[in-house]
Chain A
Amino acid sequence: MRPSTFFIKSLPWGRRALALAAAAALSGCQWMYMNDRQSVMKVEGPVAQTQLDLFYVTCWVTLVIFIVVGSVLAYTIIKFRARSEADEHAEPPEQGHGNPFIEVGLIGASVLALAIIAFPTFKAIGFTYDVPEAEKAGALKVVATGYQWWFKFEYPGEQIAGAGNLTTGNELVIPAGRAVHIDLRSVDVMHSFWIPKLAGKVDMIPNRANLLWLKADHPGYYLGQCAEFCGESHAVMRFRVIALAPEDYAKWVTQQKLPAREVAVAAVAAPKAQFASLRTFKQNEIGFSADDPLESVEGWRANQFPDKDEDAALIAQGKALFQAKTCIVCHTIRGLPSAVGVRGPELTHVGARTTIAAGLLENNAEQLQRWIHNPSLVKPGNKMWVEGYLVNHITLSSDEEVALVAFLRSLK
């Protein structure tokens, strides 16, 4: 047969296989470039482990079905193809109508395959829903509230005299090896709370009391992200979870309960040399440096200590600006008079967090200045901009930004 006829009549099995293999290879190849930072496959806690084990069960069952059904399908296509022109005009084959035994057998096999998935499913539903009875007494209780577009974390078990629950934002610190029960709330629209390495997500729905439990097997640094479309900045509503050894966690709690850190000013120093003004960032530019020193427990730990090049005078200027520029209307800094706003995240110890703007920017001077310079460029529709800067006509000069940054970075 001439090549063109051959091509036109029917594509040979080899060509088909090649196309399939190419498609699979192209897609499989890139798998090795994924780096598992937020992966559901590299789990580090029992809830996520249970969910992953169940996933593997479904993978095996569907793989077996694929091999069986796929081979029969492939065999059928090859074996029963009309081979030539003459073949196609031949008498039709035997006009069979079906076979009840095969039907019933296949239905039975399907039900069996599903039963293999069903039993571990029901078991996992029970296990993953709430903290196991045995661990309930010792579980840590956290309340996570979704806002457009950040997360508030409260520890009802840690009361601060005169200020209620210990409250932080966007970074959830938990003890490793201990169950954590998280109540999920929302003040505005639906959000979802997802830390892939520790647990599958549960939604945060206004007027609904959802809950999630998890446990981190070891100390570690975990990435989380909002997983329910919640408006303009849904894509950039992220958070961090830091699991610490129990002693470290206790130390962290003690530190957090303290009011904002004060940096004494020896004397009113002469104004420092001007900093180079903030560089221009590309629209939607990544907020993390390539080496990303803060993205680990060690990095987090290092960030708990004051910057070596702290400038006390600048910090004092920043503190004054924080009040003058109406930041206190939306943000709480315990120990700073009248800084009791609750519209935005609590900032009492914001300098000790590894990220800013809800897991979006690395918490260093440059990114922090980028953020307060124009929040709407970083998070579109951002409330700090729309309800703060625009409403209160907040404008910041470069020097003012630098001072505010110094102040915020000092809040360890």
Chain B
Amino acid sequence: MADALAKSDFLGREEQAAPKPFVLWRPTAKTGLISWLTTVDHKRIGFLYGISALFFFLVGGVEALFIRIQLAVPNNSFLTSTQYNEMFTMHATTMIFLAIMPLSAAFFNFIMPLQIGARDVAFPRLNAFSFWTFLAGAIIVNLGWFLKSGAPDAGWFSYAPLSTRTYTPGHALDMWVMGIQLLGVASIAASLNFVITIINLRAPGMTMMRLPVFTWMTLVTAFLIILAFPAITIALVELMMDRLFGTNFFEVSNGGMPILWTHLFWVFGHPEVYILILPGMGVISEILPTFSRKPLFGYPIVVFSGASIGFLGFGVWSHHMFTTGMGTMGTAAFAFTTMAIAVPTGVKIFNWIGTMWGGHLQMRTPMIFALGFIWLFMLGGFSGVMHAAAPADSQQHSSYFVVAHFHYVLIGGSLFSLLAGIHYWFPLMFGRKVSEFWGKLSFWVIFCGFNITFFPLHFVGLDGMPRRTFTYDANMGWSQGNLVATIGAFILGVGVAIYFGVMIYTFFKGERTRHDPWDARTLEWSLPNPPPEYNYRVIPTVHARDNWWYEKHHQAEVSAENAKHAAEEAAHGGIHMPFQSIYPFFAGIGILIGAIGIAVIDPNPDPHVIIGRKLAVTLVGLLILVVSVYLWSLEGNEGYHLHPEDEEGHS
């Protein structure tokens, strides 16, 4: 393996290539704004995803609090109907696309290459491009708040024909459409990158069945994104065609079929929810073994369950459509597949419990969050199974019962696991450890606030309260439940504030931590905290699953191996690092402007009036994009070489 690598271009040749004439600029700054705009380091990109996600999480949280204030009392007029509809549309869009997904991406970026013993992802500049495109999408989706047309208000699912121009004129929805398209581009590009990285850049000896479970979940999630996003891309293109150019995909008066949108959306939408939960499950599958001090119970089954969930996840989408009149056969088929997918999900929970059984449980903050996850995700799973019974679901669908269900799996599941991951990997990423007291306090306030908010909503939903309603009457008996839920939401907000406060404080002033503070099991913990830019001075050789645990218990053998490999790598020119580049950032700017341009095109029945001022915005954006990508391709990928033993004065 080492010989093959030595002969390939990947590790680079001894001589540096002469700089190409078209290369305008090689950024070399390691600190400051330019270093962030031109970074291709997966750890920095992960960090950028992380802080963006946490920022938008707060935005989405404020939107949620506005919703809960409006619903705190019946017949309330805190928000108008339109404002409320904007709130729930943006709350969902923000939390799903701009908070949970990028927070998962932050971990995919930072942690996954470290777990497989790689120095970066396969395409570092593409990785940066994914981040800047994500940011562009996030900006466009939120632009409506600053425009006269207001924010999008047709729901995050934007059902046709409500989302067609007849019923939702104005550019807010066009902004939403283009924003989601960009987020799709970013996600697909990043996912392709991750798949190729995992398949091609694993350290020697790291077979697929020795991959840490988090990396496995990264792989499955990446495949889900690559296969699911095209469905919504198509749906959004068709919607834009209807809105801008008068096509009739969903135009009822000309034979359009709104049910088509519903199908396309949910073919994407259901895998999307597995995209939201699988990374978190991967995080939990790392945390539990570490804090139980024994390996994951039934690793092959856990991996296989994750893959099954990904695969079966494409066969259940119409359980979101049980009330659309699919007929007995269609309804029965999707009820069946939905129940089937509960099996691998349950199996994971059994295996997590099996991991802890017989272990030595260290009740640190990450473990507490992980335990909270298991309880809450289990409850969310139960209400999910209730939905699988389609006739029962026809009473639950579109009521607060569903709202309660998915918040249990999304907050109790996705969010708790990602919050656990932040605590768990904080020492690795930043070299500081979060205070146990404050971490646990934030957990309890979040846990209690969350349950007080959403548990009553199960009952309110069963009492007949539909969702997406800006108000309800005082005589319906839903008042107390809603008031309790609002109080809970504010408690949850306090918990989140404590969590954020703790994190920010710890980032700047937290107690420095020793190396490998949790006595963990996977490779990323073998690195110094924080890891150097090149990650591994010597690419490790992998002997077992949980290779860091193996290394700790076979130190002599590993040292000898590493010394040998260090000498080999030095002989081949040292560590090959990618150059930084400004072009992913410029390409992101181009795509941002281009997408805004498309979103503001005014549909005009006269086909000759299509070339105008507003099309110019699109053309400028596309021009910037094309030029950036052209220069990007010209600047080449030679990179440079590092000799860390020379830099640090010792080998």
Question: B464 to A40, Cβ gap below 8 A?
Answer: yes
A81 to B364, CA, bound (A): 11
Say yes or no: B455 contacts A24, CB within 8 Å. yes
Mark each residue of chain A from 276 to 317: 1 if its CB lies under 8 Å from any CB of chain B, else 0.
000000111111101010000000000000000000000000
The answer to whether A288 and B473 touch across the interface, beta carbons within 8 angstroms, is yes
**Contact partners of B385 in chain A: CB under 8 A:** 58, 61-62, 114, 117
Can you name 10 A-B residue pairings with CB atoms under 8 Å?
A27-B456, A31-B456, A62-B386, A80-B358, A121-B391, A127-B391, A194-B466, A227-B397, A234-B469, A283-B77
A189: interface (CB < 8 Å): yes
- Interface flags for B467-486 (1: CB within 8 Å of A; 0: not) read 11111111111111100100
Q: Does A319 contact B (CB under 8 A)?
A: no
- In the bound assembly, the distance between CA atoms of A107 and B346 in angstroms comes to 8
| A88-125 vs B, Cβ < 8 Å mask (1 yes, 0 no) | 10101111111100110011001100100110111011
B424-452 toward A: CB 8 Å interface, digit per residue (1/0)? 00000000000011001000100110011
Chain B hits for A38, CB < 8 A? 463-465, 476
B339 touches A114 (CB 8 A): yes
Q: Are A69 and B378 in contact (CB under 8 A)?
A: yes
A95 to B463 Cα, complex, angstroms: 49
Q: How many residues of chain A get a CB closer than 8 Å to chain B's CBs?
A: 118
Which of A57, A121, A190, A203 has a CB less than 8 Å from the CB of B161?
Answer: A190
Contact A190 B159 (CB under 8 A): yes
Cβ of B392 < 8 Å from any Cβ of A?
yes
Interface residue tally on B, bucketed by range:
35 or more
Stretch at the interface among A71-79, A163-171, A340-348, A394-402: A71-79
Q: Does A242 reach chain B (CB closer than 8 Å)?
A: no
Contacts A190-B258, A229-B155 given: A211-B162 contact, CB under 8 Å?
no
Contacts A34-B460, A205-B258, A286-B74 given; 9 further ones with Cβ under 8 A? A30-B481, A36-B477, A40-B399, A54-B391, A55-B386, A58-B386, A199-B394, A225-B464, A380-B82
Query: Do A94 and B167 have beta carbons less than 8 Å apart?
Result: no
Does any Cβ of B come within 8 Å of A364's Cβ?
no
Q: Are A121 and B356 in contact (CB under 8 A)?
A: no
* Mask of A226-263 contacts with B, CB within 8 angstroms, 1/0: 11111111111000000000000000000000000000
Shortest Cβ gap from B613 to chain A (Å)? 30
With known contacts A27-B459, A37-B476, A38-B464, A235–B81 Cβ distance under 8 A: yes
**B301 in the interface (beta carbon within 8 A):** yes
**How close is B448's CB to chain A, nearest CB, in angstroms?**
6
Report which of A81, A118, A208, A283 forms a contact with B258, defined as CB distance below 8 A.
Answer: A208
Determine if A236 and B347 form an interchain contact, defined as CB atoms under 8 angstroms apart: no
Please determine whether A50 and B391 come into contact, CB atoms closer than 8 angstroms. Answer: yes
Binding site for B on A (CB under 8 A): 7-11, 19-20, 22-24, 26-27, 30-31, 33-41, 48, 50-52, 54-55, 57-59, 61-62, 65-66, 69-70, 72-73, 76-77, 80-82, 87-88, 90, 92-99, 102-103, 106-107, 110-111, 114, 117-118, 120-122, 124-129, 148, 184, 188-190, 192, 194, 196, 199-203, 205-211, 223, 225-236, 282-288, 290, 292, 380-381
Query: Which 9 A-B residue pairings sit nearest by Cβ, starting from the closest?
Result: A200-B394, A38-B464, A35-B477, A235-B469, A210-B325, A98-B298, A283-B77, A124-B391, A30-B480
With a cutoff of 8 Å between Cβ atoms, the chain A residues found around residue B346 in the complex are: 106, 110
A190 with B162: CB separation less than 8 A = yes
> B357 near A: Cβ within 8 Å?
yes
B76 interface hit (Cβ, 8 Å): yes
A-B contact count (CB 8 A): 346
B residues sitting closer than 8 Å to A (CB atoms) are 74-77, 80-82, 85, 154-155, 159, 161-162, 167, 252, 255-259, 292-295, 297-301, 323-325, 327-328, 331-332, 335-336, 339-340, 342-343, 346-347, 349-351, 353-354, 356-363, 371, 374-375, 378-379, 382, 385-386, 388-399, 436-437, 440, 444, 447-448, 451-452, 455-456, 459-460, 462-481, 484
Q: Which residues in A have their C-beta under 8 angstroms from that of B325?
A: 184, 202-203, 205, 208-211
